[in-house]
Amino acid sequence: MGRKALYDEAAKKKKGPGRKAKKQKDPTFAFKLDDEGVSKKLSHRQKKRAMKRTIKKTEQLEKKNKKKNKGKESALLTSELVTVKGKNADKKLSGVPKNSIKPKPFTDENNSWLKPKKKKKEASDDESEDDVANGVDGSDASQEIDEGSDDGVGEEASDGSDIEEDASDEEDGSEQEEEEDGSEEEDGSEDEDDCKVGKLDDLIDDEAVEDDGSDEGDEESADEESGSDDEDMLPIEKAAKKLNQQQAIEREEGENELQLNIADREIFAFPDEEEIEKPLGIPETEQRIKDILMVLSNFKKFHDENRSRTEYIELLKSDLCTYFSYNRFLIDRLVDLFPLTELMDFLEASETQRPMTIRTNSLKTRRKDLAQALIARGVNLDPVGKWSKVGLVVYNSSVPIGATPEYLAGHYMIQGAASMLPVMALAPKENEKILDMCAAPGGKATHIAAVMKNTGTLFANDVNRERAKALIGNFHRMGIINSVICSYDGRHFTKVMTSFDRVLLDAPCTGTGVISKEPSVKISKDEVDVQRCCTLQKDLILEAIDAINPKSPTGGYLVYSTCSVLPEENEWVVDYALRKRDVKLVETGLDFGNPGFVSFRQFRFHSSMKLARRFYPHTHNMDGFFVAKLKKFSNAKFDTAKDDKSEPEVKDVDFIERTSDSEQESSEKPAKPKEPKVKAPKHGRGKNRAKVSLNGDDPTLAEKFPRKKEKFFAQAKPARFKVDGTEFAPKERKNKVPGGEDDIESRSTSKKNKLKKQKLEAKLAAKKEALAAREKSAEGSSDTTNKPQGKREAERADKSKNDARTMAPSAKPSPESQSVNKKKWKKNKNDLVPPESASNVTNGQKADESGKSSSPAQRDSGAKGVQKRPAENGLETAAKKKKKNNKKGPQQNSNPAQSSPGNVKVVSPSETSGSPQSQLAKSKKKQKKDKKKAQNVEAGLKTNSTQKTVDSHKKRKTKPAKV
Amino acid sequence: MKVLNEEQTSKVFDKLAKYIGDNIKLLLDRPDGKYCFRIHKDRVFYVSEKVLRMASNVPIKNFISTGTCIGKFTHSKKFHLHITALNYVAPYAQNKIWVKPNAEQQFLYGHNVLKSGLGRITENTQKFQGVVVYSMNDLPLGLGLAGRSTAECKHADPLAIVCLHQTDIGEYVRSEDTLI
């Protein structure tokens, strides 16, 4: 057996499906569909339809031909017409009975002209009339043709008519030849009528006619069409049609409106003053916010030419205030803090609650077990994220999360996700001594204890006793046994205990990061609140650092955290701590979160600030938080050197305020640094000199006072010269051109002091007159005209120095008596040698110098003079302050809250400037502080002693440990 | 922070013995260092000596709590255990009562445990002996007194009280302010 090998065929054969699945061949039919073969006999109706088709075809053809020939027709010869006729006849010959129009049944297609029964009769009457009339015309035409064409054409025609006759005989014998001819003619000649009918009849005709480009207007036909349609429509159809039309209209309107809206959006018109004043609805406000944001997103493109960006932002701020119901201050801060898009995210995220998170108490249970127990109670939860091994997010719960038996048994703590971060950053170790300075209600503190596994000691402190009660409850519930809970002012905690391995300072803050939790923040906080918080935080952070043991083998760390997003409460405070104590920022150990600001607007923070971490509600879906970790290296306190700037370096501070201040004190400011040098040697010459030079050179200062730049340097430079003044003066004198720069400088400085001085001038006039007169007499009359101004002034100054010395700081000798030089004097009023500069110059030199008449000397002295007064003022005030302090001393000690915050001014512009004045003030403050500290220590000792008396000997025993 | 005097000590120990019996010894001799009782404003604290040493630094007026507060002396000089003592009492408890889940809630709201809510009970529990109340999944819920002995419980009416409520962990929420 086996298969036969068909070698030849196998190659050819196409491999198909198996034998049994052989493909069926195409079917073959006995009859042929095509007209080639014998066609199947048509049914009656089929025949009718076929007739109709053919008639239509012929009609269309005729029409076409007519159209084509229309123009020509009139001019054409009859012979041609005959041919046309012949053609027609031919067509008729092709099998369609000519008068087949009549028996047409009533259909939808022809209903317009073919009416059922009654109407039909009338219609047929009309038609017959028409036919008669047409027939006449037609006969005429035929006659014409006949007349015109005597030749064979006539035969043809007759042939045609014969055929027609046959046809008519077949179907409708009643009709006459003529009529038939006429009707035929009618079809042809009366094109218009036909066309109309055709149009009304059916679409095919319609199209055909349109194709032909009939003369009739489309409108007419359309109207007719609709009219005719309406007549015959069912009510429901009519309604539907109406509805369609309405919808179309609406759609159109809608589109128009949309376009209008788009147009509105594209061109956001800045509202007028009045419009801004008007209260706006919430949705409108929202729209406007969006509009403004869009404008600001591409300011160049969209902004109104007449409006500046600040105006837009102002409007945006006010709108945000109304829309989110913030107060203006907070919105200002937030706008400063976030880019605009992020701002919206932040504000919106602050409206919605963060998901509830719980922290497993690892002392009592495991996360897995807890999750199971809670799921059994109908709680839907998930781990909070990879970063935490104890956190769980609760999505929804059928039972109150804060009252489950598991909660009461201390298996978990309800705590924001962000609150776990500081503890993670702190990374407590077992058997350490740890302090939580602001512990209530104990979320973080219990977390610390749990991480420590109940070993070591945890001090949980909170200043508020009421809140501390929450601490008790939570600590006991969570089963923490290594804790000491106390209520103490954190700013003085070092009195209780120091040498902690780690300190967590979750400082009290304005809470701008937890607006979703506490919406009252939106309107309740203002500048003062922030300042207070900031001050408090600075005190707390210093105290916290002081409480750390830098030599701790395991720790020596401080974690500073707040639930605020404002840099004033975060970076600024940390920056302050970096200046004041020997600490450095270290990695927090949190692998997410935004880095802290190194620079924020005009503030420049320490470059390591990027190690701090910021968390935002809109980016991390947790409360706004700030976490910074500091390592303490020694107990050193930089109260002096680094104290210069109690605030972060400021670049380009609020300009308006600054200038107004500085204008008032313009002449005074530069003088200050010198003052302590000369008159208050306590402060150390070298140090002060450094400050001065810093002031002169520091480019940041120049930026600070861009408008006054020239002035500032004009003053600052001489000030620097003055430091080395005595040495360089002679050299410069030689080179100096008298009355050049000096005058300009002095003029600039003097202008503002003119008024003040003039008053004093009057008082001093008498003395000076005398002096001047003496001078004149000595030098001779020539100097009034020929001598360079500077020289004269120098001489005068030198001579009047004694008087000047006696004068009050602002008092300058002005030689009013000399009417001739009055103006010049006024110009150089400030160039008078002030007491210090004068003191630099010995009496012996005086004469020589005056003889040489050096302008640099004057400049120096002048600068000194200008700067001198304020310095003296400063000193005086400082002295006063000192006195005050001495008086206040005890009080301040008694009120601990005041003492330290009082020293730290937060945003006083004079301080921020880092100007010599402020430095002076600070140096004074420093002294103050030292004193206070001494007093504090005394006070502390006192309290200790009292405690001792009250307390048992135990205390005394432990005391050395504390020290 | 004072050391308990003789009388106070005996009262405290008596009370504790009601619940944990001889296991008091375990509270005093612990492997993880010395623990002691201290009294502060009539509150008795049980705390490790290491922590106590540190706590003694805190001025009395600022001191709030240290270690674990186990109870307080009333004005009439009786000693009351607080719910906060549960941490130490529960592990060493000699007599326990387990309550059914539906009675659990009742107990946590401060009600007594009825026979109907009784899930299990330790053998040989005497009448009016201190018991620790547990939920069925071994979660300590509070302290109470046995209303019936174990034997009596078996034949008791469903509405009979088998455990008199003394304190429960619901107090952490109910009376946070007066917890200690």
Best residue in A411, A436, A484 for a mutation probing chain B (most B CBs within 10 Å): A484
For A389, A485, A729, B39, B143, the CA distances from A472, given in Å and listed in that order, are 25, 7, 74, 16, 20
Cα(A749)–Cα(A898) distance, integer angstroms: 39
> In CATH terms, is domain B2-85 a member of 3.30.450.20?
no
Asked whether residue A624 is domain-assigned, the answer is: yes
Question: A405 CB near a chain B CB, below 8 Å?
Answer: yes
Indicate the Cα dihedral angle A547, A552, A555, A556, nearest 10°. Answer: 40
pLDDT at A480: 93
- Taking contacts as CB-CB distances below 8 angstroms, the residues of chain B near A482 are 48, 51, 67
For A100, A345, A350, A615, A806, the CA distances from A619, given in Å and listed in that order, are 85, 9, 11, 7, 66
Q: How far is B170 from chain A (nearest CA, A)?
A: 6
Asked whether residue A752 is domain-assigned, the answer is: yes
Question: A234 CB near a chain B CB, below 8 Å?
Answer: no
Low-confidence ranges of chain A (pLDDT < 50): 36-37, 73-102, 119-225, 263, 641-646, 652-752, 780-795, 797-920, 937-963
Q: How many domains does chain A have?
A: 6
Question: B102 CB near a chain A CB, below 8 Å?
Answer: no
Which two three-digit tokens encode residue A316? 């945006």
Q: In this structure, which long-range contacts are made by residues A761-764, counting pairs with CB atoms below 8 Å and at least 24 apart in sequence?
A: A761/A812, A761/A814, A761/A816, A762/A816, A763/A811, A764/A803, A764/A807, A764/A811, A764/A813, A764/A814
Question: A659 CB near a chain B CB, below 8 Å?
Answer: no
Q: Taking CA atoms, what residue in B is nearest to A946?
A: B59
- Taking contacts as CB-CB distances below 8 angstroms, the residues of chain A near B65 are 471-472, 475, 483-485
DSSP secondary structure of A247-295 = HHHHHHHHHHHHHHHHHHHHS-PPPPHHHHHS---HHHHHHHHHHHHHH
Residue A340: partners with Cβ closer than 8 Å, 6 or more residues away: A293, A296, A297, A316
Among this protein's residues, is A509 annotated catalytic? no
- What are the pLDDT digits (tens) for B63-115? 999 999 999 999 999 999 999 999 999 999 999 999 999 999 899 999 999 99
Q: How far is A485 from chain B (nearest CA, A)?
A: 5
Residues A317 and A421 in one domain: no
Q: How far is A597 from chain B (nearest CA, A)?
A: 38
Domain final residue pick, A841, A874, A907: A874
Residues A483 and A596 in one domain: yes
Residues A533 and A677 in one domain: no
Contact A485 B64 (CB under 8 A): yes
Q: How far is A387 from chain B (nearest CA, A)?
A: 29
Residue A411's CATH number: 3.30.70.1170
Among candidate residues A720, A771, A717, A724, the one with its CA nearest the CA of residue A741: A717
Locate the domains of chain B by residue range: 2-85, 95-174
How many Cβ atoms sit within 10 Å of the Cβ of residue A423?
27
Cα(A23)–Cα(A274) distance, integer angstroms: 88
User: Helix A855-894 to helix A741-779 angle, to the nearest 10 degrees?
Assistant: 110
Asked whether residue A607 is domain-assigned, the answer is: yes
Asked whether residue A331 is domain-assigned, the answer is: yes
Cα(A771)–Cα(A501) distance, integer angstroms: 72
Question: B69 CB near a chain A CB, below 8 Å?
Answer: yes
Are the C-beta atoms of residues A889 and A935 closer than 8 Å to each other? yes
Asked whether residue A837 is domain-assigned, the answer is: yes
Which two three-digit tokens encode residue A423? 């503890």
Q: SS3 sequence, A490-543?
A: HHHHHHCCCCECEEEEECCCCCCCCCCCCCCHHHHCCHHHHHHHHHHHHHHHHH
Supply the DSSP symbol for A831.
G
Is A2 annotated to bind ligand?
no
What backbone phi and psi angles, to 5 degrees, belong to B135?
A: -85, 170
Which residue of B135, B139, B176 is in closest CB contact with A473? Answer: B176
Which two three-digit tokens encode residue A560? 């500073």
Contact A433 B55 (CB under 8 A): no
Cα(B144)–Cα(B78) distance, integer angstroms: 17
Residue A955: partners with Cβ closer than 8 Å, 6 or more residues away: A947, A948, B56, B57
Residues A606 and A704 in one domain: no
Q: Taking CA atoms, what residue in B is nearest to A948?
A: B59
Indicate the Cα dihedral angle A881, A884, A886, A888, nearest 10°. Answer: -130
Interface contacts A/B by beta carbons within 8 Å: 105
List A321, A533, A534, A563, catalytic entry: A563
Question: A951 CB near a chain B CB, below 8 Å?
Answer: yes
For A3, A4, A5, A15, A22, the CA distances from A19, given in Å and listed in that order, are 14, 15, 16, 10, 5
Residues A576 and A662 in one domain: no
> Which helix (DSSP H) or strand (DSSP E) does residue A160 occupy?
helix A152-171
- Taking contacts as CB-CB distances below 8 angstroms, the residues of chain B near A463 are none
Contact B170 A408 (CB under 8 A): yes
Q: Taking CA atoms, what residue in B is nearest to A403?
A: B173
Cα(A859)–Cα(A743) distance, integer angstroms: 9
Asked whether residue A79 is domain-assigned, the answer is: yes
Residues A295 and A435 in one domain: no
Which residue of B55, B57, B62 is in closest CB contact with A962? Answer: B57
pLDDT at A417: 92
pLDDT at A869: 42
pLDDT at A68: 77
Residues A410 and A425 in one domain: no
SS3 of A465, please? Answer: helix
Residues A586 and A561 in one domain: yes
User: Helix A78-93 to helix A177-189 angle, to the nearest 10 degrees?
Assistant: 110
How many Cβ atoms sit within 10 Å of the Cβ of residue B78?
11
Q: How many CA atoms lie within 13 A of A824 on its CB side?
A: 19
Contact B179 A475 (CB under 8 A): no
Contact A409 B140 (CB under 8 A): yes
Residues A72 and A130 in one domain: yes
pLDDT at A365: 94
- Taking contacts as CB-CB distances below 8 angstroms, the residues of chain A near B139 are 405-406, 409
Residues A728 and A759 in one domain: yes
Contact B48 A482 (CB under 8 A): yes
Question: B51 CB near a chain A CB, below 8 Å?
Answer: yes
How many Cβ atoms sit within 10 Å of the Cβ of residue A769?
14
Question: B62 CB near a chain A CB, below 8 Å?
Answer: yes
> Which helix (DSSP H) or strand (DSSP E) does residue A10 occupy?
helix A7-12
Question: A481 CB near a chain B CB, below 8 Å?
Answer: yes
Domains B2-85 and B95-174 share a fold: no
pLDDT at A330: 92
Which domain covers residue A569, as residue numbers? 417-638
Contact B172 A408 (CB under 8 A): yes
Instruction: Tell me the pLDDT of chain B averaged across its residues.
Output: 92
Residue B49: partners with Cβ closer than 8 Å, 6 or more residues away: B33, B34, B35, B36
∠ at Cα A325 (A324, A331), nearest 5°?
75
Among candidate residues A174, A177, A216, A176, the one with its CA nearest the CA of residue A194: A216
**Cis link prior to A441 (omega < 30° from 0)?**
yes
Cα(A719)–Cα(A289) distance, integer angstroms: 52
Report the Cα B173 to chain-centroid distance in Å.
17
Cα(B105)–Cα(A710) distance, integer angstroms: 80
Contact B140 A457 (CB under 8 A): no
Contact B179 A472 (CB under 8 A): yes
Asked whether residue A408 is domain-assigned, the answer is: yes
Best residue in A364, A413, A453, A486 for a mutation probing chain B (most B CBs within 10 Å): A486
Residues A433 and A488 in one domain: yes
How many Cβ atoms sit within 10 Å of the Cβ of residue A208?
20
Residues A343 and A453 in one domain: no
Q: Taking CA atoms, what residue in A is nearest to B56?
A: A955
Report how far apart the first and last C-alpha atoms of chain B are (Å, whole number).
Answer: 15
Contact B141 A486 (CB under 8 A): no
- Taking contacts as CB-CB distances below 8 angstroms, the residues of chain B near A483 are 51, 65-67
Asked whether residue A39 is domain-assigned, the answer is: no
Query: Dihedral sign, CA of A910, A915, A916, A918?
Result: positive
Supply the DSSP symbol for A486.
E
Is A442 annotated to bind ligand?
yes
Q: How far is B159 from chain A (nearest CA, A)?
A: 24
Report the Cα A378 to chain-centroid distance in Å.
41
pLDDT at B107: 93
Which two three-digit tokens encode residue B64? 């709030």
pLDDT at A745: 44
Is A462 annotated to bind ligand?
yes
Is A439 annotated to bind ligand?
yes
> In CATH terms, is domain B95-174 a member of 2.60.320.10?
no
Give the neighbor-by-neighbor strand order of the sheet with B79-81: B2-3, B35-40, B43-48, B68-73, B79-81
Residue B68 pairs with which residues in a beta bridge? Answer: B46
Q: How far is A413 from chain B (nearest CA, A)?
A: 12
